Every structure is written in structure tokens, then in C-alpha cells.
A and B are shown apart, each in its own frame.
Chain A
Amino acid sequence: MRQLTTIAMDGTVFAAILFLISVGLTLVFGVLRILNVAHGGLYAFGAFTATTLAMRLLDLGANPYFTYLMLLVAPVIVGVIAGPLIERVFLQRVYGRAEAIQLLLTFSIFLILDDLIKLIWGTKPLFVSAPYTLLGEFSLSGIRYSWYQVVLIAVAILFGGALVWAVRGTRIGKIAVSVINDREISQAIGINVNRVYMGSFTLGAFCAALGGALIAPTIAVAPGFAVDATVLAFAVIAIGGMGNLEGAALGALIVGLLRAMAVHLFPEADLVVIYLAMIVVLVIRPQGLFGQVELRRI
């Protein structure tokens, strides 16, 4: 029973992290129909930026509670700079081209971002623990957890909810959905598709960076941690259905719980179990749990 609680708690925390990592990726795919391999790089940029800003702040002697502000400011900076830059300068040129090319384009950007991080921040790991330790810990079934982890879960739920509301409830969201469903008709009725694309990608970049920023206080950020996150994000959205927000949540939950189970019960299988789940889901339902199939009209 105790183990069940531990697994449930661990799984949920991990799921929250996964959701924050993946939601941006699925959003970009949903609107632009492009799988952004560079997503992991933006995530890492968010983490590093947030960490550095927080560290500077603490060096300057500011109130440690301001580091939380940095966790929100950093992703905005990254999103607003990287988003339009990548979308306008690079992505735009491969719309409509073969998918292989689009994938390779984002893969190249990933490689560039990965090295940029090394150039800007060096290769030594960075760690700012203030946001994490500041909130203190509590005990559950004899295991100690941090309140920060609970905050992560809360943020994931709130943020996910906000996104869903934004897509379903707001005018901008409905415009985006219109573009998703039929780009040509959207253009014909006067929607500025280019701006929707840029906005969506920027939002996706922001989400990626936000994920990185929020996770940064829990681990030491080092070059290369983007790589793991990228592949996990792929697995989550593939399972949930690419382009689907609820799917990302469900996928994150599934992967999170599975990983928690593996870590506590079969530690050697913790990597394998995630990919096995991905394969099982994709074989039974190729479009993912909440994904949609398109039948070509002839």
C-alpha cells in the first residue's frame, strides 16, 4: 500500500514534468504539422536562462522569493526571441516541402542550440536550489517530498487548463483551430495564416522554455539533458495523439506512472517500459490515443 502511494506520487510528479515538457511540442505539431526536434533545445535554453537569472538575482542579494519570478521571466525571453526567429527565418522556408526535409531542418536547429548552450554557459552543470528548497518538505507514507513538486503538479494542471480554455474559448484559439482544419479556407476568409503560425510556434517555444525553467530547480542543468527530454516528449505525444492537448496530458500521465512503477519495481526496465508503451499504443492505434485519422479523398 505504501509502495502504491509512492508510485502514485512519483508518477504524478513525473507526469507533471513530462506534460510541461511535451505540451509545447504537441501544440506546434497541431498547428504547423511539423515535429519540432529543436524543442529539446528550447527546453534546455529555458532551463539554463532561468537558472542563470536566478543565480544572478541571488548574487545581488535579492529576496530569494524573486527567483520564482525568474522562472516565469526566462521562458518569456526565450520564447519571444527564439520563437519568431526560428519560425520566420527557417521554418517558413520549408512549409509545404517534403516532411523529411522539415524534420531535418528542426534537427539541425537542435544541434545548433545544443552547442550554443555549451558556448554560452560552458560544460559544467549549474544548479540553483533556492526555488526548490524554499518551500520546504513534507512527509507522505514515510517518504519525504518537496512542496515544490506539488507546485509543479498544480502548475501543470493550471497551465494545461489555461491552454485548453485558450484554444476552445478564445477567439484566437478558434482561429488557430480553423487554420489547423483547413489552411486554404482560413486564408480565403481573411485569416492571417502566417501570423497564426508564428504565434503558435512562439507559444510552443515559450511552453518548452517554461518546462525547462520549472524543472531546473529540481536537477542540475547540464548540456545534454535536452536530448533525454526530447525523446521523452516524443514518446508522450505519440502516445497521446500528436497535436492534441488532452492527449499530451494523458500521455504524460501514462508515461509518468509507468516510469514510477518501473523505477520502484523493475529498475532496469525504466527506459524500456516507456518505449514499449509507445510501441504498443502506436501499433493498436497508430494515431495515438486522442489523435485523428485523415482519409484521403479521391
Chain B
Amino acid sequence: MPDESILRTINLTKSFGMVTAADRINVEIGAGELVGIVGANGSGKTTFLNLITGYLTPEAGRIFLMGEDRTGLPPRVITRLGVARSFQIPQLYTNLSVLESLLLSLAAKTDTGAGVWRPLYRQPWMDEGVETLGRFGLEAYAHRPVSELPEGGRKLLDIALSFALRPKLLLMDEPTSGVSIKDKFQVMDTLIKVVEESRLTTIFVEHDMEVVQRYGRRVLAFNEGRVIADGRPEAVLADPDVRKAVLGRV
């Protein structure tokens, strides 16, 4: 049977000393899905992202992307295969401008790698860059240094840089963490709108159940490195075991 999933993991396992951060995780994500991953701190959500993007190597288990076994490949290769990822703490180029950062994402998409002769600032890239920044509401900051961005802007840029790679699968690690409560939904609205317009398969990790409930079409609940529930948000988030694990109370 041909594997049409975008991402599939089989018995993915990883421990750090005594701590099992990933315990035989089996997950299958299809094209176009919008999946939320919820779980308490330390439940293995970020480890999961680190594993499937190749930043960590699993002790056991396999990772399939677009139907092919990609276990053990480094982040650079995984990214080129169409998986892009944003980070809990935004990973930005603090000494470049916002537009330059985005242009670098665009420049990385070429087959042969970043060039050495033609300039980074070229018209088609600049157009696309500004347009992408616009989608995330950052076009006003285009020529400002990244260090001048406000906290929410840093998050958005982090995601924009990954989005600009036009991936087949976008992973967002806590897109609203560090964002003030009143801005949370505004940020998520922007993000989900962008993602849905592009019909991008998306996984976002959140520990805020409200965000997951509102935006996810499917939810995976993590606890102590295992997936303890997988299904529609209302069902999963009503499950007493999930509520106990994520919130600490029923």
C-alpha cells in the first residue's frame, strides 16, 4: 500500500540518561492536516520535533517523510526535503535586517546552495521577501535590524523564515509562548490564515489548551514521551486522562 502520508513515525524512541523523552511514538500525519500537539512541559513535544527534523538521532524507531525513510538525516537535509521548523526561542540573525534574514531563506532554496557572485539583494527575491513579510505583518520592519523587533515580531519572523522555504510540512514550536495573552489569538489568527491560504500541512506545539482547541483540527496529546490521545480537539481535550496530564487536574 503506497504511503501517502507527509510524516509517519514508527516506534520513535529517545532517552537522555534516565529520562525517556520519546517512548515508542507512532504518528501519521496526512497532507493538508492542521495538527496541534499539546502536553505539559517536559512531556516530549520539543524532543519530538527535534527528532523528526534530525537535530537528535533516535535510539530506535523510524521516521518517514513523504513516504521515504529519512531516519538519521541531519536538519539541513531534512529541510531540503521539505520540512521547515520554527523554535520555542526564536532562532534569528540578530545582526542582520529583517528583510536580509528572509532573503537568506530564499537564497537557500536554490539547488546549488548560496551563491558567491550575484548579490543577495535581487529584485525577484526582494519582491517575494517583502510580500512574505507582509503576510506576517512585518513589512514595516523590513529594513530594521532584527534586534529591534518586539517579542511578538521575533516569533512571527522566526516562523516567516521557515515559511519562506515553501516547505511541504511546517512545524511550529510554541508559536505563542512569550506572547502576551491579549496578543496570542491575534498572532495565531495571522499564522493560521497564512498556513491555510497555502494549504500547508502544519503541526504546531502548544501547552495552551485553549489555543489548540481553537485552531487545531486534530490534536495529539503527549505525556512522558508517549502519545496518550489522538483525535478531534473536543474529544481529546475533554478526556480526563489528558486533562490530568496536561493541566495537572481534571
A residues lining the B interface (CB < 8 Å) = 298
The distance in angstroms between the C-alpha atoms of A215 and B89, with both chains bound, is 51
CB closest chain-A residue, reference B173:
A298
Contacts of A298 in B (CB 8 A): 50, 55, 87-89, 91
Cβ distance A33 to chain B, nearest Cβ, rounded Å: 21
The distance in angstroms between the C-alpha atoms of A298 and B50, with both chains bound, is 8
Contacts of B89 in A (CB 8 A): 298
CB closest chain-A residue, reference B85:
A298
Tally A-B pairs: CB < 8 A. Answer: 6
The distance in angstroms between the C-alpha atoms of A298 and B92, with both chains bound, is 12
Contacts of B91 in A (CB 8 A): 298
Cβ distance B147 to chain A, nearest Cβ, rounded Å: 15
Q: Which B18-62 residues sit within 8 Å CB-CB of chain A?
A: 50, 55
CB closest chain-A residue, reference B87:
A298
The distance in angstroms between the C-alpha atoms of A298 and B46, with both chains bound, is 9
- Contact indicator per residue, chain B 61-96, by CB within 8 Å of chain A (1) or not (0): 000000000000000000000000001110100000
The distance in angstroms between the C-alpha atoms of A298 and B54, with both chains bound, is 13
The distance in angstroms between the C-alpha atoms of A298 and B88, with both chains bound, is 7
The distance in angstroms between the C-alpha atoms of A292 and B27, with both chains bound, is 36
Give the bracket for the number of chain B residues in contact with chain A. under 10
CB closest chain-B residue, reference A298:
B87
6 A–B pairs (Cβ distance < 8 Å), ordered by A? A298-B50, A298-B55, A298-B87, A298-B88, A298-B89, A298-B91
Contacts of B55 in A (CB 8 A): 298
Cβ distance A99 to chain B, nearest Cβ, rounded Å: 15
The distance in angstroms between the C-alpha atoms of A103 and B193, with both chains bound, is 49
CB closest chain-A residue, reference B53:
A298
The distance in angstroms between the C-alpha atoms of A298 and B89, with both chains bound, is 7
Cβ distance B63 to chain A, nearest Cβ, rounded Å: 18
Nearest first, the 3 closest Cβ-Cβ pairs linking A and B are: A298-B87, A298-B55, A298-B91
Cβ distance B12 to chain A, nearest Cβ, rounded Å: 18
Contacts of B50 in A (CB 8 A): 298
Contacts of B87 in A (CB 8 A): 298
CB closest chain-A residue, reference B88:
A298
Cβ distance B56 to chain A, nearest Cβ, rounded Å: 10
CB closest chain-A residue, reference B56:
A295
Cβ distance A106 to chain B, nearest Cβ, rounded Å: 24
The distance in angstroms between the C-alpha atoms of A298 and B85, with both chains bound, is 12
Q: Which B139-156 residues sit within 8 Å CB-CB of chain A?
A: none
Contacts of B88 in A (CB 8 A): 298
The distance in angstroms between the C-alpha atoms of A39 and B87, with both chains bound, is 41
The distance in angstroms between the C-alpha atoms of A274 and B78, with both chains bound, is 41
Cβ distance B52 to chain A, nearest Cβ, rounded Å: 14
Q: Which B85-112 residues sit within 8 Å CB-CB of chain A?
A: 87-89, 91
CB closest chain-A residue, reference B75:
A298
The distance in angstroms between the C-alpha atoms of A22 and B102, with both chains bound, is 46
The distance in angstroms between the C-alpha atoms of A298 and B56, with both chains bound, is 11
The distance in angstroms between the C-alpha atoms of A298 and B55, with both chains bound, is 9
Cβ distance B163 to chain A, nearest Cβ, rounded Å: 18
The distance in angstroms between the C-alpha atoms of A26 and B55, with both chains bound, is 31
Cβ distance B115 to chain A, nearest Cβ, rounded Å: 27
The distance in angstroms between the C-alpha atoms of A298 and B86, with both chains bound, is 10
The distance in angstroms between the C-alpha atoms of A246 and B106, with both chains bound, is 48
The distance in angstroms between the C-alpha atoms of A170 and B187, with both chains bound, is 53
The distance in angstroms between the C-alpha atoms of A262 and B129, with both chains bound, is 60
The distance in angstroms between the C-alpha atoms of A298 and B173, with both chains bound, is 10
Cβ distance B50 to chain A, nearest Cβ, rounded Å: 7
The distance in angstroms between the C-alpha atoms of A5 and B55, with both chains bound, is 51
Cβ distance A281 to chain B, nearest Cβ, rounded Å: 25
The distance in angstroms between the C-alpha atoms of A298 and B90, with both chains bound, is 9
Cβ distance A125 to chain B, nearest Cβ, rounded Å: 49
Cβ distance B34 to chain A, nearest Cβ, rounded Å: 24
The distance in angstroms between the C-alpha atoms of A298 and B91, with both chains bound, is 9
Cβ distance B156 to chain A, nearest Cβ, rounded Å: 18
Cβ distance B44 to chain A, nearest Cβ, rounded Å: 15
The distance in angstroms between the C-alpha atoms of A25 and B12, with both chains bound, is 45
The distance in angstroms between the C-alpha atoms of A189 and B87, with both chains bound, is 30
CB closest chain-A residue, reference B55:
A298
CB closest chain-A residue, reference B91:
A298
Cβ distance A97 to chain B, nearest Cβ, rounded Å: 14
The distance in angstroms between the C-alpha atoms of A148 and B169, with both chains bound, is 71
